Amino acid sequence: MDTTLDAWFVSEILVHEAALVQYLRRCWTQPDEIVDLRQEVYVRVYEAAAKARPQQPKSFLFASARHLMTDRLRRSRVVSIEPAGDFESLNVLVDEVSPERRFGARQILRRLAAAFDRLPGRCREIVWLRRVEELPQKEVALRLGISEKAVEKQIARGMRLLAEYYHGDDAAPSAPRRGETARAAEPAD
């Protein structure tokens, strides 16, 4: 141990203990932590002085105390990312996909693809650009050389036809083929 450092610490730092404790009580809201804060300030000052003695020890002592309180406040505001409980018992973790769920998902995908394939060509293209590629309505209209209103109508028509086929039975009205009009393809009420 460095006896000169110890002597310096006693003569330059410990003489301000009463003022330091008063400062900590005035600034820190939890009185039960004052003793711990004081000790931590002393450790910081002692370790720093072991490397190089400060020119103004009292100012250095109080600056160290202020920095310590600031550090503690910052740490108290940080939210821990450590798990707060046993997530396994809560069934929060992602389950492995069962073969039944995988098969069901494939069936849904096949049915949706079949419904999509039944859409008229232009309608299918517009639905693809708008819903799959997520292009804005204006860009779809510009790309296809049609009005935004036409895009809007084709999207509505495509969604209706997809829903009819997907949610209805296999006998749901199919999209009109080339040469047929939309009215002719729809069942009469």
Q: pLDDT per residue over 60-116, tens digit each?
A: 999 999 999 998 888 877 665 665 555 555 555 455 677 888 888 888 888 888 888
Residues 161-175: pLDDT tens digits?
988 887 875 544 444
Find where tokens 């049609």 sit. Answer: 146
Quick check: helix, strand or coil at residue 122?
helix
Length of the chain counted residue by residue: 189
Query: Comparing 178 with 114, which gets the higher pLDDT?
Result: 114
| Rounded distance between C-alpha atoms, residue 45 and residue 63, angstroms | 10
pLDDT of residue 67: 93
- Concatenated DSSP letters for 132-165? IS---HHHHHHHHT--HHHHHHHHHHHHHHHHHH
| Rounded distance between C-alpha atoms, residue 10 and residue 43, angstroms | 13
| Rounded distance between C-alpha atoms, residue 31 and residue 131, angstroms | 61
Using alpha carbons, list the distances in angstroms from residue 164 to 21, 59, 183. Answer: 78, 80, 16
Give the chain's domains with CATH numbers.
Answer: 3-77 (no CATH), 101-185 (1.10.10.10)
> Cα–chain-centroid distance for residue 10?
51
Q: What percent of the chain has pLDDT over 90?
A: 51
Tokens of 121: 């060509």
Q: Is pLDDT above 50 for 188?
A: no
The answer to whether 118 and 99 have CB atoms below 8 angstroms apart is no
Q: Which residues contact 105 (CB under 8 A, 6 or more apart)?
A: 97
Q: Is pLDDT above 60 for 51?
A: yes
Q: Is pLDDT above 80 for 148?
A: yes
Q: For 119, which DSSP code?
A: S
Q: What percent of the chain has pLDDT over 70?
A: 78
